[in-house]
Chains A and B, each alone.
Chain A
Amino acid sequence: MSEDIQAGLAEILEEVAGVAPADATPEKSFTEDLDVDSLSMVEIATAVEDKFGVAIPDDELANIKTVGDAISFIQKNQG
């Protein structure tokens, strides 16, 4: 399940920010390691909302620092 989420997230990261899928591993920080800026984070959040059917309010988005954070957020909030 977390592998599926990771793969889906990697697709979004590639589409929005040009991140190579192999680089989208749980320990990676979006801003530090993957060079994703704050506005691309918003685009990733809205794409994640559409793909996984979760809501990521702006204050929650601020707490999502790594790919792993995003995976656990999706796991926890997916209905």
Chain B
Amino acid sequence: MSIRLPEGAPGARILGLGAYRPRRRVTNDDLAQVMDTNDEWIQTRVGIAERRWASEDETLQEMAVAAGGKALAASGLSPDEVDLVILASASLKEPIPGIGPQVAHRLGIPRPGAFDLNAGCAGFCYALEVASASIRAGSARNALVVGVERLTDVVDQTDRSTAVIFADGAGAAVVGASDEPGIGPVAWGSDGDQFSAIEIAAGTGTMTMAGQAVYRWATTRLTDTLIQAMEAAGVGPEDIDVFAPHQANLRIVESMSKKLGFGKETVVARDVVQSGNTSAASIPLALTALMESGEAKSGDLTLVLGYGAGLTFAGQVLVLP
């Protein structure tokens, strides 16, 4: 007696993207009123001009449902065609229960496999790989991936090294089967020796970041990951239309872009300027912003890379829906 396996799909691709940006816009001048900082200090160090902070009613669940609903609408699928929901977040307030099942239920997705995934700011790209692999393996027909964060809940609002950077929001992607692969092989990994570089130490409830260590890691150790993601997909930097790394800090975005030799013909996501660092939500937020502005378009070959707490990282090449 042998165990039968499903056929699966030759490839997976993103069918639709969606985003939710909290209502409240907070500028650098607003922050300068409440802490020792100013617009010039923030702009030169992290390149952020403004960010969105969630209000009380903009919970993780509400934002995830809003972004997920938009991604579903953009995909053209009905909720009952989705059978896997992965919710990536590093700012869940209560560990039990995970909120993936609740978000799925609220979206009318009937009884999907659903769970939360914590890979810090790399969460969206980790979740995208799990979704893509599940579809190719036949474990799911279509999957919803959501990255959602309320980092303002875990940041000390008087600590200028983190409060000016971290923000709130949600982004989502519906992933489905395709004959032509629209999501390339993942290049992922972790550097667990640096586990304490970004952490909420037990009992504190407050996130701290060793800024210099993380900056050094991001600008020196991840170039190879980006190259691996392109090589694994069989493309080179000259083929990339859009480069959308995690929106941690504009200087990291520019450094990576320079190291890969991207010129004017490649659109580089700089949503961090408007959104701050939204961790697992930053890549789908950046991609939807580029598509809404017309800078990126359907079919564009896009290189993404998530990286952050863990330390974790994951990059892949994908085709925009």
Contact = CB atoms under 8 A, between A and B. Distances in A.
B137 to A, nearest CB: 41
B211 A58 contact: no
A42 B45 contact: no
B32 interface: no
Nearest to A62: B212
Contacts of B35: none
Interface of B: 44-45, 210-213, 215-216, 219-220, 249, 251
A41 B44 contact: no
Interface residues of A, number: 10
A52 to B, nearest CB: 16
B212 A58 contact: yes
Contacts of B211: 38-39
Contacts of B213: 58
Contacts of B212: 38-39, 41-42, 58, 61
18 contacts: A38-B211, A38-B212, A39-B45, A39-B211, A39-B212, A39-B215, A39-B251, A41-B212, A42-B212, A42-B216, A42-B219, A43-B219, A46-B216, A46-B220, A58-B210, A58-B212, A58-B216, A61-B212
Nearest to B41: A37
A41 B212 CA distance: 8
Interface of A: 37-39, 41-43, 45-46, 58, 61
A23 to B, nearest CB: 19
A42 B251 CA distance: 12
Given A38-B211, A61-B212, 19 more contacts: A37-B44, A38-B45, A38-B212, A39-B45, A39-B211, A39-B212, A39-B215, A39-B249, A39-B251, A42-B212, A42-B215, A42-B219, A43-B219, A46-B216, A46-B219, A46-B220, A58-B212, A58-B213, A58-B216
Contacts of B215: 39, 42
A-B pairs with the 9 shortest C-beta distances? A58-B213, A42-B216, A42-B215, A42-B212, A39-B215, A58-B212, A38-B212, A37-B45, A46-B220
Contacts of A46: 216, 219-220
A39 B211 CA distance: 8
Contacts of B220: 46
Most chain B CB within 10 A, of A39, A41, A43, is at A39
